[in-house]
Structure 1
């Protein structure tokens, strides 16, 4: 990436849970709470860690901000390298 004009650029993979647009807030809140509850389970954390995953969890707003930052970051790559769809 340095040679392509993006010095210091790093990337990794991540997983998240998304719902269809228009899903009611209370449903999203419940889903978020249950996912965080599962991620807090030592058994789940151990299994994910054994696969090399870093368990994060968090709020819906945290994930929204993360997604927005990823879109902007990737957009920078596309603009810098003049990639278009």
Structure 2
């Protein structure tokens, strides 16, 4: 539902026009369904976030991002 890009069955590379239209329709249908679900039940987004946290917690050490640079260490624009 929340995939950032096209799913494997929605790829257009190497498809004839009929298959490409079917792939485009599949993606459009998925995006419309996601929109409808979110509009109908806004708590879905909250549930998805909770599930992602549950799944990602065991990998938190691997997901650590470097601390942001402080303003003093950034170069000044001329």
Task: Decide: shared fold, TM above 0.5.
Answer: no
Structure ranking higher in helix proportion: 2
Calculate the TM-score normalised by the size of structure 1.
0.34
Question: Relative contact order (alpha carbons < 8 A, sep ≥ 6): 1 or 2 greater?
Answer: 1
